[in-house]
Amino acid sequence: MSTALRPNLLGLSPVKLTALLEGMGEKPFRARQLMRWIHRRGVLDFGAMTDIGKSFRERLTLETTLAPPELVSRYDAEDGCVKWIIRAASGSSVEMVYIPEGGRGTLCVSSQAGCILDCSFCATGKQGFDSNLTAAEIIGQVWLARRELGSFENGGGPPVTNVVFMGMGEPLLNFDNVMDAVDLMLDDHAYGLSKRRVTISTAGVIPGLERMRGRTDVALAISLHAANDELRDELVPLNRKYPIAMLLEATRAYMADLGEHRVPLIEYTLIRGINDHRRHARELAALLADFPCKINLIPFNEFSEVSYRRPSASSIGKFRKILQDAGHLVTVRTTRADEIAAACGQLTGSVHDQTQRRERFLRRLDGEASLDERPAGLIHSARDDSRQQAESQGTG
């Protein structure tokens, strides 16, 4: 059997791996053995899996494969953050980022090569969209990070204690592959992460949110960025199909199933002159007045393709105080790894854009006024492109 046709055991969820092995005539415990070798010890050589019979190891070698994504390059920041670029099977390059803080190590993973949604303030969206990542390419980011950090079982390197789906792509538009990867992150025979330490961030794909209910109980982050539909339509074009009221209702329903006093994280990127005024803070405070949550303010990280600017420290502080005075729990995300273009909203990779959005975007830059003359950050044209692409993908 050619390698391309063999199932890649790296990306098989516990349930799917067990089913595959049972189809090969093996007992369910073999799946637990394999997961421990692959995900806890980082072993990809079947021949080294010494507690598995030789004949079965030989069969695995012939009929299956263990293949993480190709690691293309690594960039280390002075603050300890690391960005890796991996190559997906589609040929696109995708980024992931490790962020250490005290005894915690957070890995920000990607779920797609590019992104279909084209939020106006996100560098990833400006690259267009190529493909969904496979489950092996998603969990492979965790596997590669642990290998690179030397943190597999008995390795003694920095840990990966948290995983956030806040890299390239919209996770809920790649639902099945993301869920398979999440199952491995949570399984005690694989990565054994706490459900509170795996976070899926969504711009508001309501069907995906509804499918999450009863399928998983990991933490949830909502990319809100505006407290009224008119502004959010411009910043997050998906809002035109799934407006704020619908998004909050679906979020409330998902969280209600979790219990344990768990609340979602509301992400709000602060952009100078766009959504950072005191009236925006008061509007956000009122919107979330009876909505238990934590609010994470994210100062915009600038990149060359839009005219948006980062707010002043004073504006950020005033915005935060208004929310806190209204009784909300608020944090401000510290910008990390911006010198290696790994800060929030900066991930781009190298995407073989199937949408031609990137080409159209560059043509507009050549044919229109300079960026400095367009303080709205191209949000109208970005909205139109995103709506067209979302409709072609069944989300618009």
Dihedral angle sign, alpha carbons of residues 300, 167, 72, 107: positive
3-state secondary structure at position 199: strand
Check 95, 137, 302, 305 and give the catalytic one: 95
Torsion of CA 322, 325, 328, 329, to 10 degrees: 90
Measured distance CA(16)–CA(388) in Å, rounded: 35
Q: What is the CA 370 to chain-centroid distance, rounded?
A: 32
Q: Which residues, 6 or more positions from 163, have their beta carbon under 8 angstroms from its beta carbon?
A: 106, 107, 109, 142, 185, 193, 197, 198, 199
Q: Which residues, 6 or more positions from 195, have their beta carbon under 8 angstroms from its beta carbon?
A: 186, 216, 217, 218, 219
3-state secondary structure at position 14: helix
Beta carbons within 10 angstroms of residue 257's beta carbon: 11
Residue 265 near residue 296, CB atoms below 8 Å: yes
Output DSSP code: residue 154. T
- Residue that has been written with the tokens 């415990």 in this structure: 29
Beta strands in the chain (DSSP E): 70-76, 82-87, 93-101, 104-108, 112-114, 129-132, 162-165, 198-202, 219-223, 265-270, 294-299, 329-332
- Nearest by Cα to 267 from 228, 227, 224, 325: 224
CA distances from 130 to 273, 336, 362 (A): 32, 27, 17
- 344 annotated active-site: yes
Check 108, 115, 293, 344 and give the catalytic one: 344
Beta carbons within 10 angstroms of residue 20's beta carbon: 18
- 81 annotated active-site: no
Q: What are residue 294's DSSP bridge partners?
A: 265, 329
Phi, psi of 233 (to 5 degrees): -55, -35
- Residue that has been written with the tokens 């209600």 in this structure: 256
Catalytic positions are 95, 344
